[in-house]
Protein backbone atom coordinates (compact mmCIF):
# COMPACT_ATOMS: atom_id res chain seq x y z
CA UNK A 1 0.00 0.00 0.00
CA UNK A 2 1.31 3.45 -0.87
CA UNK A 3 2.06 6.11 1.73
CA UNK A 4 -0.83 8.30 2.86
CA UNK A 5 -0.71 12.03 3.57
CA UNK A 6 -3.37 13.43 5.91
CA UNK A 7 -5.54 16.30 4.69
CA UNK A 8 -8.60 18.22 5.77
CA UNK A 9 -11.04 20.38 3.87
CA UNK A 10 -12.25 23.67 5.33
CA UNK A 11 -13.96 26.87 4.29
CA UNK A 12 -14.58 30.40 5.52
CA UNK A 13 -17.56 32.09 3.83
CA UNK A 14 -17.15 29.48 1.08
CA UNK A 15 -13.55 30.41 0.29
CA UNK A 16 -12.39 26.80 0.46
CA UNK A 17 -9.07 25.23 1.32
CA UNK A 18 -7.24 21.94 1.32
CA UNK A 19 -5.36 21.75 4.63
CA UNK A 20 -2.15 19.71 4.80
CA UNK A 21 -0.91 19.33 8.40
CA UNK A 22 2.86 18.95 8.25
CA UNK A 23 4.39 20.18 11.54
CA UNK A 24 7.98 19.28 10.62
CA UNK A 25 7.77 20.51 7.02
CA UNK A 26 8.47 17.10 5.52
CA UNK A 27 5.80 16.98 2.77
CA UNK A 28 7.11 18.19 -0.59
CA UNK A 29 4.52 20.56 -2.06
CA UNK A 30 5.82 22.09 -5.30
CA UNK A 31 3.38 24.38 -7.17
CA UNK A 32 2.19 21.53 -9.43
CA UNK A 33 1.30 19.36 -6.38
CA UNK A 34 -0.73 22.22 -4.92
CA UNK A 35 -2.50 22.77 -8.25
CA UNK A 36 -3.25 19.01 -8.44
CA UNK A 37 -4.71 18.94 -4.91
CA UNK A 38 -6.80 22.09 -5.55
CA UNK A 39 -8.15 20.77 -8.87
CA UNK A 40 -11.93 20.48 -8.42
CA UNK A 41 -12.36 17.60 -10.83
CA UNK A 42 -9.18 15.54 -10.67
CA UNK A 43 -8.13 16.43 -7.12
CA UNK A 44 -9.69 17.36 -3.77
CA UNK A 45 -10.65 20.88 -4.85
CA UNK A 46 -10.05 24.24 -3.25
CA UNK A 47 -9.42 27.93 -3.90
CA UNK A 48 -6.15 27.48 -2.06
CA UNK A 49 -4.08 25.27 0.21
CA UNK A 50 -3.04 25.78 3.83
CA UNK A 51 0.20 24.00 4.61
CA UNK A 52 0.36 23.84 8.42
CA UNK A 53 3.99 23.92 9.55
CA UNK A 54 5.72 24.78 12.82
CA UNK A 55 7.37 28.18 12.29
CA UNK A 56 10.69 26.80 13.55
CA UNK A 57 10.63 24.17 10.78
CA UNK A 58 10.06 26.58 7.86
CA UNK A 59 12.82 28.80 6.42
CA UNK A 60 10.34 31.62 5.68
CA UNK A 61 8.96 31.62 9.25
CA UNK A 62 11.88 30.73 11.50
CA UNK A 63 12.31 34.37 12.57
CA UNK A 64 8.69 34.48 13.76
CA UNK A 65 8.96 31.24 15.80
CA UNK A 66 9.42 33.12 19.09
CA UNK A 67 6.10 34.93 18.56
CA UNK A 68 4.02 32.32 16.76
CA UNK A 69 4.43 28.54 16.99
CA UNK A 70 2.56 27.85 13.73
CA UNK A 71 3.17 29.14 10.18
CA UNK A 72 0.41 29.38 7.58
CA UNK A 73 2.25 28.47 4.38
CA UNK A 74 -0.59 29.66 2.11
CA UNK A 75 -0.75 28.79 -1.60
CA UNK A 76 -3.24 29.84 -4.25
CA UNK A 77 -5.12 27.19 -6.23
CA UNK A 78 -2.74 27.55 -9.18
CA UNK A 79 0.20 26.74 -6.90
CA UNK A 80 1.47 30.31 -6.55
CA UNK A 81 2.49 31.74 -3.19
CA UNK A 82 0.69 34.69 -1.59
CA UNK A 83 1.60 36.85 1.36
CA UNK A 84 -1.66 36.56 3.22
CA UNK A 85 -5.14 35.00 3.18
CA UNK A 86 -7.78 36.37 5.54
CA UNK A 87 -10.31 33.55 5.24
CA UNK A 88 -7.42 31.11 5.28
CA UNK A 89 -6.07 32.35 8.60
CA UNK A 90 -9.48 31.81 10.24
CA UNK A 91 -9.67 28.29 8.78
CA UNK A 92 -6.05 27.69 9.86
CA UNK A 93 -6.86 28.67 13.46
CA UNK A 94 -9.98 26.51 13.41
CA UNK A 95 -7.83 23.58 12.28
CA UNK A 96 -5.33 24.12 15.13
CA UNK A 97 -8.26 24.08 17.56
CA UNK A 98 -9.80 21.01 15.89
CA UNK A 99 -6.48 19.14 16.10
CA UNK A 100 -6.05 20.04 19.77
CA UNK A 101 -2.94 22.17 19.17
CA UNK A 102 -4.64 25.23 20.72
CA UNK A 103 -7.67 25.95 22.87
CA UNK A 104 -10.11 28.84 22.70
CA UNK A 105 -8.63 32.31 23.27
CA UNK A 106 -5.88 34.37 21.62
CA UNK A 107 -3.52 32.73 19.19
CA UNK A 108 -0.62 34.11 17.12
CA UNK A 109 -0.24 32.78 13.57
CA UNK A 110 2.86 33.45 11.44
CA UNK A 111 2.14 34.33 7.81
CA UNK A 112 4.26 35.76 4.99
CA UNK A 113 2.47 39.02 5.79
CA UNK A 114 3.69 38.94 9.41
CA UNK A 115 2.26 37.58 12.66
CA UNK A 116 -1.54 37.84 12.98
CA UNK A 117 -3.46 37.55 16.24
CA UNK A 118 -6.59 35.42 16.08
CA UNK A 119 -9.36 35.31 18.64
CA UNK A 120 -10.95 31.88 18.71
CA UNK A 121 -14.13 31.33 20.63
CA UNK A 122 -15.08 27.76 21.62
CA UNK A 123 -17.36 27.81 18.60
CA UNK A 124 -18.91 30.50 16.42
CA UNK A 125 -17.08 33.20 14.51
CA UNK A 126 -13.34 33.84 14.46
CA UNK A 127 -11.83 37.34 14.70
CA UNK A 128 -8.42 38.19 13.23
CA UNK A 129 -6.29 41.30 13.73
CA UNK A 130 -5.21 41.77 10.16
CA UNK A 131 -2.78 44.66 10.62
CA UNK A 132 -2.93 47.99 8.81
CA UNK A 133 -3.91 48.72 5.24
CA UNK A 134 -1.48 50.61 3.02
CA UNK A 135 -3.05 52.77 0.31
CA UNK A 136 -0.44 53.35 -2.39
CA UNK A 137 -0.97 56.41 -4.61
CA UNK A 138 -1.68 56.02 -8.30
CA UNK A 139 -4.61 55.88 -10.67
CA UNK A 140 -5.57 52.62 -12.32
CA UNK A 141 -8.57 51.80 -14.49
CA UNK A 142 -10.20 48.38 -14.67
CA UNK A 143 -12.41 47.38 -17.59
CA UNK A 144 -14.99 44.66 -18.15
CA UNK A 145 -17.21 44.20 -21.23
CA UNK A 146 -16.83 47.78 -22.47
CA UNK A 147 -17.31 49.46 -19.06
CA UNK A 148 -14.42 51.04 -17.11
CA UNK A 149 -14.00 52.20 -13.51
CA UNK A 150 -11.19 53.80 -11.51
CA UNK A 151 -9.75 51.36 -8.98
CA UNK A 152 -8.17 52.16 -5.63
CA UNK A 153 -4.99 50.37 -4.60
CA UNK A 154 -5.12 48.86 -1.12
CA UNK A 155 -2.40 46.61 0.24
CA UNK A 156 -3.35 44.20 3.02
CA UNK A 157 0.00 42.41 2.89
CA UNK A 158 -1.22 41.28 -0.54
CA UNK A 159 -2.29 43.64 -3.33
CA UNK A 160 -5.90 44.65 -4.03
CA UNK A 161 -7.60 46.98 -6.50
CA UNK A 162 -11.08 48.11 -5.44
CA UNK A 163 -13.62 49.42 -7.98
CA UNK A 164 -17.06 50.83 -7.11
CA UNK A 165 -19.65 49.76 -9.67
CA UNK A 166 -23.39 50.30 -10.15
CA UNK A 167 -24.25 46.60 -10.37
CA UNK A 168 -22.16 43.51 -9.45
CA UNK A 169 -23.31 41.85 -12.68
CA UNK A 170 -21.24 44.47 -14.54
CA UNK A 171 -18.12 42.64 -13.32
CA UNK A 172 -18.94 39.95 -15.90
CA UNK A 173 -17.90 36.32 -15.58
CA UNK A 174 -14.59 37.04 -13.77
CA UNK A 175 -13.35 33.75 -15.17
CA UNK A 176 -10.20 35.56 -16.23
CA UNK A 177 -8.50 38.54 -14.59
CA UNK A 178 -9.98 41.85 -15.80
CA UNK A 179 -7.53 44.09 -17.68
CA UNK A 180 -6.02 47.24 -16.16
CA UNK A 181 -4.73 50.47 -17.61
CA UNK A 182 -1.84 50.98 -17.45
CA UNK A 183 -1.29 47.31 -18.30
CA UNK A 184 1.97 47.36 -16.34
CA UNK A 185 0.22 48.46 -13.10
CA UNK A 186 0.58 45.11 -11.31
CA UNK A 187 3.69 43.18 -12.39
CA UNK A 188 3.06 40.63 -9.59
CA UNK A 189 -0.69 40.39 -10.23
CA UNK A 190 -3.53 41.76 -8.12
CA UNK A 191 -6.79 40.74 -6.48
CA UNK A 192 -9.67 42.78 -7.91
CA UNK A 193 -12.81 43.67 -5.95
CA UNK A 194 -16.03 45.05 -7.45
CA UNK A 195 -18.25 46.78 -4.89
CA UNK A 196 -21.83 48.07 -4.63
CA UNK A 197 -23.55 49.86 -1.76
CA UNK A 198 -26.21 47.97 0.18
CA UNK A 199 -26.94 50.56 2.90
CA UNK A 200 -25.18 52.70 5.51
CA UNK A 201 -21.76 51.10 6.25
CA UNK A 202 -22.93 48.04 4.32
CA UNK A 203 -21.56 46.91 0.94
CA UNK A 204 -21.54 43.81 -1.26
CA UNK A 205 -18.64 42.65 -3.43
CA UNK A 206 -17.38 40.14 -5.94
CA UNK A 207 -13.72 39.29 -6.36
CA UNK A 208 -11.30 37.93 -8.90
CA UNK A 209 -8.40 36.49 -6.90
CA UNK A 210 -4.88 36.35 -8.21
CA UNK A 211 -3.99 32.68 -8.57
CA UNK A 212 -7.51 31.35 -7.91
CA UNK A 213 -9.98 33.09 -10.26
CA UNK A 214 -13.40 34.20 -9.03
CA UNK A 215 -13.91 32.98 -5.47
CA UNK A 216 -17.00 33.19 -3.28
CA UNK A 217 -15.14 35.22 -0.67
CA UNK A 218 -11.83 36.91 0.05
CA UNK A 219 -11.00 38.07 3.59
CA UNK A 220 -8.14 40.42 2.71
CA UNK A 221 -10.34 41.66 -0.15
CA UNK A 222 -13.20 42.46 2.25
CA UNK A 223 -10.74 44.42 4.45
CA UNK A 224 -9.46 46.32 1.40
CA UNK A 225 -13.05 47.07 0.39
CA UNK A 226 -13.98 48.31 3.89
CA UNK A 227 -11.00 50.69 3.94
CA UNK A 228 -11.56 51.96 0.37
CA UNK A 229 -15.27 52.49 1.12
CA UNK A 230 -14.52 54.31 4.38
CA UNK A 231 -12.18 56.71 2.56
CA UNK A 232 -14.73 57.22 -0.22
CA UNK A 233 -17.31 57.99 2.50
CA UNK A 234 -14.91 60.48 4.14
CA UNK A 235 -14.37 58.25 7.19
CA UNK A 236 -10.86 57.85 8.56
CA UNK A 237 -10.60 56.49 12.12
CA UNK A 238 -7.06 57.88 12.40
CA UNK A 239 -8.53 61.39 11.99
CA UNK A 240 -11.78 61.04 13.96
CA UNK A 241 -10.47 58.72 16.70
CA UNK A 242 -13.58 56.56 16.26
CA UNK A 243 -13.56 52.99 14.90
CA UNK A 244 -15.49 52.40 11.69
CA UNK A 245 -17.28 49.11 11.01
CA UNK A 246 -18.50 47.87 7.62
CA UNK A 247 -20.59 44.81 6.89
CA UNK A 248 -19.33 43.20 3.69
CA UNK A 249 -21.56 40.71 1.88
CA UNK A 250 -19.88 38.25 -0.44
CA UNK A 251 -21.41 35.49 -2.59
CA UNK A 252 -20.34 32.97 0.11
CA UNK A 253 -21.39 34.83 3.26
CA UNK A 254 -20.82 37.91 5.39
CA UNK A 255 -17.69 39.40 6.98
CA UNK A 256 -17.63 42.26 9.48
CA UNK A 257 -14.64 44.58 9.26
CA UNK A 258 -13.65 47.22 11.81
CA UNK A 259 -10.87 49.73 11.30
CA UNK A 260 -9.53 51.20 14.57
CA UNK A 261 -7.98 54.65 15.13
CA UNK A 262 -4.48 53.11 15.26
CA UNK A 263 -5.09 51.64 11.79
CA UNK A 264 -5.52 48.04 13.00
CA UNK A 265 -8.18 46.18 11.02
CA UNK A 266 -10.25 43.44 12.62
CA UNK A 267 -12.10 40.89 10.53
CA UNK A 268 -14.80 38.61 11.94
CA UNK A 269 -16.36 35.67 10.15
CA UNK A 270 -16.98 31.94 10.22
CA UNK A 271 -14.52 29.08 9.64
CA UNK A 272 -15.48 25.44 9.37
CA UNK A 273 -13.71 22.12 9.02
CA UNK A 274 -15.84 19.98 6.70
CA UNK A 275 -13.91 16.76 6.10
CA UNK A 276 -10.77 14.79 6.86
CA UNK A 277 -9.05 12.17 4.76
CA UNK A 278 -5.89 10.67 3.33
CA UNK A 279 -4.10 11.54 0.11
CA UNK A 280 -2.60 8.63 -1.79
CA UNK A 281 1.07 9.63 -2.22
CA UNK A 282 1.38 7.64 -5.49
CA UNK A 283 -1.59 9.53 -6.94
CA UNK A 284 -0.06 12.83 -5.82
CA UNK A 285 3.20 12.00 -7.57
CA UNK A 286 1.39 11.15 -10.84
CA UNK A 287 -0.96 14.15 -10.59
CA UNK A 288 1.98 16.47 -9.87
CA UNK A 289 3.82 15.21 -12.95
CA UNK A 290 0.68 15.69 -15.06
CA UNK A 291 0.19 19.29 -13.81
CA UNK A 292 3.81 20.32 -14.13
CA UNK A 293 3.73 21.55 -17.80
CA UNK A 294 0.51 23.53 -17.12
CA UNK A 295 1.89 25.18 -13.99
CA UNK A 296 5.23 25.95 -15.66
CA UNK A 297 3.43 27.69 -18.50
CA UNK A 298 1.06 29.60 -16.24
Ligand X SMILES: N[C@@H](CCC[C@H](N)C(=O)O)C(=O)O
Q: Does residue number 212 form part of the binding site for ligand X (CB under 6 A)?
A: yes
Residue 86 is labelled as binding a ligand: yes
Among 8, 19, 72, 82, contact with ligand X (rule: CB under 6 A): 82
Catalytic site residue from 34, 161, 205, 218:
218
Q: Does residue number 219 form part of the binding site for ligand X (CB under 6 A)?
A: yes
Residues 6+ apart with CB under 8 A from 270: 12, 13, 90, 124, 125, 126, 253
Among 21, 22, 55, 87, contact with ligand X (rule: CB under 6 A): 87
Residue 158 is labelled as binding a ligand: yes
CB neighbour class for 228 (10 Å; exposed up to 12, middle 13-18, buried from 19)? buried
Per the annotation, the verdict on 38 as an active-site residue is no
What gap in Å lies between CA 274 and CA 252, rounded to an integer?
15
Among 49, 118, 203, 218, contact with ligand X (rule: CB under 6 A): 218
| Comparison of 56 and 273: residue with beta carbon closer to ligand X | 273
Among 86, 113, 178, 270, contact with ligand X (rule: CB under 6 A): 86
Residue 24 has phi, psi (to 5 degrees) of: -95, 10
Q: Quick check: bond before 182 cis, omega within 30?
A: yes
Q: Comparing C-alpha atoms, which of 203, 223, 224 is closest to residue 161?
A: 224
Catalytic site residue from 5, 52, 85, 279:
85
Among 37, 85, 93, 248, contact with ligand X (rule: CB under 6 A): 85
| C-alpha R_g of the chain | 19
Q: Does residue number 211 form part of the binding site for ligand X (CB under 6 A)?
A: yes
The answer to whether the CB of 222 falls within 8 A of the CB of 245 is no
Per the annotation, the verdict on 85 as an active-site residue is yes
Binding site for ligand X (CB under 6 A): 15, 48, 76, 82, 85-88, 158, 191, 209-212, 215, 218-221
> Catalytic amino acids?
85, 218
Amino acid sequence: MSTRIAFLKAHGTENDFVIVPDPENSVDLPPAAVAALCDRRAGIGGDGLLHVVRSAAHPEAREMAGEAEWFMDYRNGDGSVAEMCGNGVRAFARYLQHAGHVTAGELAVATRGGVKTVHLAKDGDVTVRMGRAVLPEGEVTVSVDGRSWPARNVNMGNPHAVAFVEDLAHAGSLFTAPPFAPASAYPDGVNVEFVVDRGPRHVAMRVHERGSGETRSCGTGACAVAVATARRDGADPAVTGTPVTYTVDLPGGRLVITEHPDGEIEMTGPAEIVAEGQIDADWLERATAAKTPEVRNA
